[in-house]
Amino acid sequence: MKRTLTYFFTLIFFTLFSINVQAIPKIIPKAPSIAAKSYILIDFNSNKIIANNNENMAVAPASITKVMTAYVIFAELEEGNIQLNDLVTVSKKAWKTPGSRMFIKVNSKVSVEDLLQGMIIQSGNDASVALAEHIAGSEETFAALMNQHAQELGMNNSNFLNSTGLPNPDHKTSAKDLAILANALIKRFPQYYKWYSTKEFTYNNITQPNRNKLLWRDNTVDGMKTGYTEDAGYCLLSSAKRNNMRLVSVVLGTDSANARAQESQKLLNFGFRFYESHVIYPVEKALKNVRIYKGKSEQLPLGVKNDLAVTIPRGQYKNLKPAININNPLVAPISKGQQLGKVEIRLNGKLLSSSPLIALKTIEEGSLWQQAKDSALMMLE
């Protein structure tokens, strides 16, 4: 009997010990010190901020401005307002724009596609102005378009006055805004994002390399954009994908081209080493089929409007706890996209992410007989 009791209590002890060990969150060290005026590191899938400092501080973005310029142009292409093979007549203003250039000639005709690559890969200010004038008539009007798109994206610390990033005291953005922009561009325009990984581009018999040194140092880095002015310092917006995890880092105001690459690499390595990213519920995939009363159909698939993703310490996936809460009972008519509940993801009791649970199809009212029958069922239940 004594031996049986000893075994019993020993079993309970080890069971409880195992549960407690499993529940203890993985220890994550403090993010590395970054020699920059401001920076941010976010997970592309979940938008979780992994590391940051002065991320909302309005600063000069230099040529990283051209990511916003490209976003507007990609939107114009998507809407069919312009085509990649459209020919753009280069104005004297575009030709004379100072700073980095792709060396287009005044009054020459250059395709939108060539200008985009000259702007993205070679960081051509001349290409940026030529594209802005082609789309909006003037660079000033194009800057107004940039600001409208920025507002739609929630870039609350940004004000764009030109398409190039050439110095202007009122031309500002922030590390967080640039991360928002990068995420939006990669998600919405993957077919054009590929240009950001191109290492060199040749135009007018002149070959120029991409200024993003991480493209050579780290083969998981596939974009995005460098910038430099005396006011802004050396800046780098970069993105890398390892396995199923993509991170976006923004480092603004470092002391050298090498430093911006080095500090960005620190952030990316930290994020990939200590965190993992999971899309728990993909967009518009049926998570659950539920009973619908008084409808033409008795079953309704429910899902999420956008991917529900989480960023967690490595090794903690098994401790995630999903919960689906439905606003029962569900009665027709129900429209596709209508919110009918909520789904939550918790880790060790802490809420990580939540999303509205929506109808994935429309359910119209059923016949009078169906409505009467279901009314009786609902009373009994």
Contact predicate 248/233, CB 8 Å: no
Beta-bridge mates of residue 52: 40
Closest by CA position to 102, among listed 63, 152, 57 = 63
Structure tokens at 362: 């429309």
Beta-bridge mates of residue 176: none
Cβ neighbour number for residue 198 with a 10 Å cutoff: 16
Beta-bridge mates of residue 221: 240
CA separation for the pair 72, 136 (Å, rounded): 11
Give, in order, the Cα–Cα distances in Å from 225 to each of 122, 178, 322.
Answer: 10, 11, 37
Q: How many Cα atoms occupy the beta-carbon half-sphere of 316 within 13 Å? A: 25
Q: Give the dihedral sign, CA 135/202/126/56.
A: positive
- Categorise residue 243: left if φ over 0, alpha if ψ from -120 to 50, beta otherwise: left
Terminal-residue alpha carbon distance, the chain: 50
Alpha helices in 225-306 (DSSP H): 257-274
Beta-bridge mates of residue 300: 290
Q: Which residues of 240-271 are buried (b: 16+ CB within 10 A; e: fewer)?
A: bebeebbbbbbbbbbeeeebbbbbbbbbbebb
Active site residues: 63, 66, 123
Closest by CA position to 129, among listed 88, 157, 188 = 88
Contact predicate 59/252, CB 8 Å: yes
Q: Is 333 helix (H, G, I), strand (E, B) or coil?
A: coil
Which strand (E) or helix (H) includes residue 239?
A: strand 233-242
